[in-house]
Structure 1
Amino acid sequence: MEISKNQLNILSNIFSPTIIKELLKFDYSEKLYRILRDTDLLDSVKSKNLKSFFDYSYELLAKNYPNEYVYKNAITNKILLGKHNLNTSFMLNEFRANKSKVDCVVVNGTLTVYEIKTAYDNFKRLDKQLDDYKKVFEKIYIITADKHVDKLDYLKNQGIGIMRYNQNGQISTLFDAQSQFESLDLGIIFDSLRQSEYTKIIKDFYGYLPNVPNTKIYLTCKELFCNIDKSKAYNEVIFHLKQRGNKQALKDFIMKVPKSLKARAINNILSSRERIKFLEILEKDIEHLIHKG
């Protein structure tokens, strides 16, 4: 079917956490109904189940409007679940490196960041982002569309890896990332950790937690962390970040959702009970999910 650029933009909202939360709370989604109405898909998909519709929508977007979610999902399927696996690796979608918000980080034997630049993105902040990334991640890749590849040639001398996404959903490596280990900054890395993570690292390494008031625990732990050998500290960070995904129930959920939803599942926005209910909702026909009652 013919679908306009504007309708594709509307359709891209189908992967919003808001829709998932609405379905879980009310057993229907007004937002889902509006998307179907505004994209003229209502009549043609009513008899599909939700799982099929997610896959159908993703296919349309991947071929005609590959946005950030499509890229993230491709990284999840092709790299995290294809090249690696959930027993040895995990992907973080919500992470900060200094002042930059990170698109995707794969945690396995090291930390590898994937900066997404779709055909619709600009490169205004890229150099600043890369400066921040070099302080936290050993390997850095930029994954982009064909039209942007030539703009990234200058980064090869900096050891930045370059990947190309094509509209068949394939990711190809044009230039391998080199290690940025010498640029890593333990102070900046520490600031990216949760309190539960850095306190465990300090206790594991030193055998104790500093006996200081709560107001001083952050700075005291940071000073201790920065005194650890860089290689040992980095390995501790890798181990503890990997624990964010080291829950069998989450792994099972990720493997059970359709390919179109892998990146959303990894965000881990659902409770155990919600995951079970969402898997049931995926099997329901669309027509039962767009009207109250």
Structure 2
Amino acid sequence: MSSTNTLGDAFDLAFTSLKGVGNRDDYVYRAALTQKIALGRHSLRTATVLNELRAGKSKADLVILNGTATAYEIKSERDSLSRLEGQLADYRSVFASTCVVTSPMQADQVLSLVPEDVGVLVLSSRFRLQILREAIDSPDRIQPLQLLSTLRVDEALQVLELLEVEFESVPNTQRWSTLQEIFINLDPASVHKASVQVLKVSRSQTHMASVLQQLPATLRASVLAAKLPLKAQQNVVKAVSQPLEAVLSWSEEQRVSPVL
């Protein structure tokens, strides 16, 4: 690289070597989903992207909320499929739509393991997401009590308000148990739809849209997942635009924490 290249160019070059088939780890797949679906097919003005969202005993790698909730489980060529069955059972109890994103070398095995309603995507050698099987959107399949566990108390109360379900005032120590008693009897499709509406607002990332546009595509997934305060986001934008010569002259402290 020449002295005219920026820190962002260096990240792009590093990512090019990381995305070769056989070397790809979780972040390469997460970057592909972020670039091509979250910010490509959708946008932060119409959809919300949640990273590592708990569902039952598992955590979905990526969840995209638009008109529905779709969970994406990443199984890179470095990952074992031994936990996949249990993970998908958890996701299908919380999200209306579930997909597995995997490598070409694992695609056939994944197809043979997952339920018919689970979508399967392959990240090709050309860094393209190819659909092997479309996911079936089934909000009536979810379990309201499991979905409740992904919500904060204030979000759960907003869901009940949308559904016009009365919640009597109780001491704070009894709120969660009372919510559980209510949610277990709710209609799955209705509570799922209301939860998506609430989460799209309560966890909206619309404010990050302009920042992400100023970053190299290879870093957007990382910054989106990091939940940085506005000042730190601006510092990242400034840092990646710096010439490499300037970056190499930074002090050790600046290199370790350039966003602070």
TM-score bracket, shorter-length normalisation: 0.7 to 0.9
Query: Does the C-alpha gap of structure 1 residues 251 and 209 become closer, same or farther in structure 2, counting only changes over 3 Å?
Result: farther
Q: Which amino acid aligns with 1:137?
A: F
- Counterpart in the other structure of 1:51: 8
Distance 2:221 2:203 in 1: 13
Instruction: Work out whether residues 250 and 268 of structure 1, in 8 Å CA contact, stay in contact via their aligned partners in 2.
Output: no
Alignment of 1:153-168 (within 5 A): 153-155=111-113, 158-168=116-126
Distance 1:46 1:217, change over 3 A: farther
Give the paired residue count: 250
The 1:153/1:270 distance shift into structure 2, 3 A limit, reads closer
> How many angstroms does 1:87 deviate by?
1.8
Pairing 1:237–2:187 present = no
1:261 is displaced (CA, Å) by 1.2
Query: 1:71: Cα distance to partner?
Result: 0.3
Q: Distance in 2 between matches of 1:63 and 1:171?
A: 14
CA distance in 2, matches of 1:276, 1:68: 26
**Contact 2:48–2:205 under 8 Å retained in 1:** no
More deviation, 129-138/83-92: 83-92
- How far apart, in 2, do the equivalents of 1:178 and 1:189 lie? 18
Per-residue Cα deviation, 1:125-165 (whole angstroms, up to 9, x for no partner): 01111111110111111111111011123246532211111
Q: 1:57 to 1:152 in 2, by over 3 A?
A: same
Q: How big is the alpha-carbon RMSD for the aligned residues of Structure 1 and Structure 2?
A: 2.1
Q: Percent identity?
A: 27
TM-score, normalised to structure 2's length?
Answer: 0.88
2:144 and 2:184 in contact (8 A); partners too: yes
- CA shift, 1:199, in A, is 2.3
- Equivalent residue number for residue 63 of structure 2: 105
Asked if 1:81 corresponds to 2:36, the answer is no
Provide, for residues 204-257 of structure 1, a one-character-per-residue CA deviation record: whole Å limited to 9, x for no partner: 434765311111111112222333332221111111221255354222222222
Aligned residues of 1:45 and 1:53 also touching (Cα < 8 A): no
Residues 248 and 114 from structure 1, CA distance in 2 versus in 1: closer, same or farther, beyond 3 angstroms? Answer: closer
The residue matched to 1:179 in structure 2 has which SS? coil
Specify the alignment match of 1:181 in structure 2: 139
Is the CA contact 1:165–1:171 (under 8 Å) kept in the aligned structure 2?
yes
Gap change, CA 1:196 and 1:74, over 3 Å in 2: same
Alpha-carbon shift at residue 272 of structure 1 (Å): 1.0
Residues 1:147 and 1:45: Cα distance change in structure 2 (over 3 Å): farther
Superposition deviation, residue 80 in structure 1: 1.4
- Following superposition of structure 1 onto structure 2, how do residues 114-263 of structure 1 map, counting pairs within 5 Å? 114-155=72-113, 158-206=116-164, 209-263=167-221
Deviation at residue 267 of structure 1 after TM alignment: 1.5
Cα distance between partner residues in 2 of 1:247 and 1:127: 31
> How far did 1:55 drift?
1.3
CA deviation after TM superposition for structure 1 residue 269, in Å = 2.0
Query: Any stretches of 5+ residues in structure 1 without a counterpart?
Result: 1-43
Q: After TM superposition, where is structure 1 displaced by more than 4 Å over at least 4 residues in a row?
A: 44-47
SS at match of 1:242: helix
CA distance in 2, matches of 1:57, 1:280: 19
- Contact 2:155 2:202 (8 Å CA) reproduced: no
Q: Deviations over 1:57-77 (max 9, x none)?
A: 111211252211010010111
User: In structure 1, the residue corresponding to 2:178 is in which secondary structure?
Assistant: helix
- AA aligned to 2:168 is P
Q: Of residues 63, 71, 82 in structure 1, which corresponds to 2:20?
A: 63
TM-score (normalised: structure 1): 0.78
Higher helix residue share:
1
For 1:89 and 1:247, locate their aligned partners in 2 and report how far apart those are by CA, in whole Å. 8
Structure 2 CA distance, aligned partners of 1:199 and 1:266? 27
